[in-house]
Amino acid sequence: MKIQILGIGQIGLCLALLSGCATVPPSPEQTLIVTGCPAVVPCVLPASSPSTNGELLTETERAELAWAECAAQVDMIYSHQQPRADP
């Protein structure tokens, strides 16, 4: 009885090793990760020509949003350029 178990074990091992000989498609190409500075775009304030108080309020909010986006970009660049402290 022990011979059959050993024989089945050897056959299983043989089949497992032979399965590694099958042809497979090549691995996909690795994507590159860029660790440089983030992309910077110019800060632009939207053009406006309000004719009512409501439009003036809307244009003020748009200008404030544009300034906030520009400030966030400057802050991002500033924090990226600061030396990192080692703990």
pTM of the predicted structure, to 2 decimals: 0.48
71 vs 14: CA distance, rounded Å: 65
Domain containing 77: what range?
40-82
Tens-digit pLDDT string for the chain (87 aa): 455 555 566 666 666 666 656 677 777 888 777 676 667 788 888 888 999 999 999 999 999 999 999 999 888 888 877 777 655
Alpha helices in the chain, H assignment, sequence order: 2-19, 53-81
72 vs 75: CA distance, rounded Å: 5
In a domain, 34, yes or no: no
Q: Quote the number of domains for the chain.
A: 1
Q: Which two tokens stand for residue 64?
A: 């404030």
In a domain, 6, yes or no: no
CB 43 within 8 A of CB 70: yes
80 vs 42: CA distance, rounded Å: 18
